[in-house]
Amino acid sequence: MQRFLIPVVLLAVAVLRADLVNCACDVARPETMEARSCSLCREAEKQNADVKVFFLKDANPSKPGRWLALPRIHPRSMDQLNNEQRAELWSAAIAKAKSLFDDQWAIAYNAPSVQTQCHVHVHIGKLIPGVETSQFITATKIEDIPVPAGGEGLWIHPQGNLFHVHSGEQITETVLER
């Protein structure tokens, strides 16, 4: 009996893993938008209504080569976007990444549980050489990029005309040069 209890306990711990931030950003209640964790939501509200995806230079001065891509709408995490919205975000981010770094680009999505912002975003940067891992799938087109499983992050980089989609990690932006 004892040996069956252990996995159950581990599962409970995984489910209870708390997010770093309590997200209460509500555009209908301006006072809630003042929180630091809502700063990307505030940027989204500055965009024109016809904008679907926009870009921000990373505000962290220690990451001068980095950009963010974000939808104007307000999902907290990637799984809250529908297939079309997710494809729009990835295709805009990849186009921007290519324009900045040619075939050296990579895009990283951190797991929601390690994010300090309440608005879904992906990090665009230059792939650090030699960070390749074995946990990836090959995607032939943007629509093949999966929804990150189980609250994980993922990171993507080109492999010829294909993409590697790496999974199984929480903090992924560490594959990008600063």
User: Can you tell me whether residue 45 is helix, strand or coil?
Assistant: helix
Maximum CA pair distance of the chain?
60
SS3 (DSSP) at 55 = strand
Residue 62 or 134: the one with the smaller Cβ distance to Zn ion is: 134
Smallest distance from the beta carbon of 117 to Zn ion, in angstroms? 8
**Minimum distance, C-beta of residue 170 to Zn ion, in the bound complex (Å):** 18
The Cα 98–Cα 126 span in angstroms is 10
DSSP states of 103-155 as a string? GGEEEEE--GGG-S-SS--EEEEEBPTT---S-EEEESSGGGSPPPGGG-EEE
| Nearer Cβ to Zn ion (45/113) | 45
Q: Which residues bind Zn ion (CB under 5 A)?
A: 41, 74, 119, 132, 136, 164
Residue 137: count of CB within 10 angstroms of its CB: 13
Question: Is the CB of 132 or the CB of 144 nearer to Zn ion?
Answer: 132
**Residue 14 or 133 having the CB closest to Zn ion:** 133
The nearest distance, CB 6 to Zn ion, in angstroms, is 34
CB of 132 to Zn ion, least distance (A): 5
